[in-house]
Amino acid sequence: NAGVTQTPKFQVLKTGQSMTLQCAQDMNHEYMSWYRQDPGMGLRLIHYSVGAGITDQGEVPNGYNVSRSTTEDFPLRLLSAAPSQTSVYFCASRWGQGAGGYTFGSGTRLTVV
Amino acid sequence: GNSVTQMEGPVTLSEEAFLTINCTYTATGYPSLFWYVQYPGEGLQLLLKATKADDKGSNKGFEATYRKETTSFHLEKGSVQVSDSAVYFCALTTPPRGGSNYKLTFGKGTLLTVNP
């Protein structure tokens, strides 16, 4: 099925470890973004990309890196995990120009111990 | 900046009850408004949207009307079912100043539980 695919679904890291959360979409969407969801905080934008080779920071970018080498993929890297990065991470991509709707992946639940 | 305020939950209703989840917003420019739903263990799904004043978005029995004069986008359903139990998020985007980065701003979410 077409959509946004995130891997892994669950991950436990030790403080200081690094990892990459994968996100891929097969809808040829130009706009992709990463959000984190924390209890009582809603969803907050980490990084976003408006096309291959173009990325920018969102609301809470510290501790995260991104790159966009292809239209399909938008990985999120944690270089040195911290307990404050324990969260559920969602990747989303957008269809249409203007105020189009977003398609979300099913999420990655990350725990940093 | 943009912000979304929605009623805090949790909201607990009996099946067939009437549902209202309040949402108000502050935005620069002319926003488009959305309701997203998140079922347990899943990602967010677009439930409905409205892009201009007085538009009514509707889907699966849910409705919301874009009220510019009160900066509101309240979600309603006449008769809820157990399967409607989920977290509901109000969100908005506004036209960017150049570029195409229509960023979503979310409310904190409202947990709805519907009992049989």
End-to-end, the C-alpha distance of chain A in Å comes to 34
SS3 label, residue B83: helix
Q: Which residues of A touch B108 (CB under 8 A)?
A: 40-42
> Nearest CA to CA, how far is B102 from chain A (Å)?
7
Residue B8 — very low, low, confident or very high, per pLDDT cuts 50/70/90? confident
For residue A42, give how far its alpha carbon lies from the nearest alpha carbon of chain B (Å).
Answer: 4
Residues B18-46 pLDDT 10s:
999 999 999 887 888 999 999 988 889 99
Mean predicted confidence (pLDDT) in A46-69: 93
B88 to A8, A96, B96, B106: CA distances (angstroms): 25, 23, 25, 10
pLDDT score of B29: 79
Distance (Å, rounded) from C-alpha B43 to C-alpha B63?
21
pLDDT in tens, A39-50: 888 899 999 998
Give the tens place of pLDDT for each residue, B49-107. 998 899 999 999 999 999 999 999 999 999 999 999 999 999 998 766 555 556 788 99
Contact A72, A26 (CB under 8 A): yes
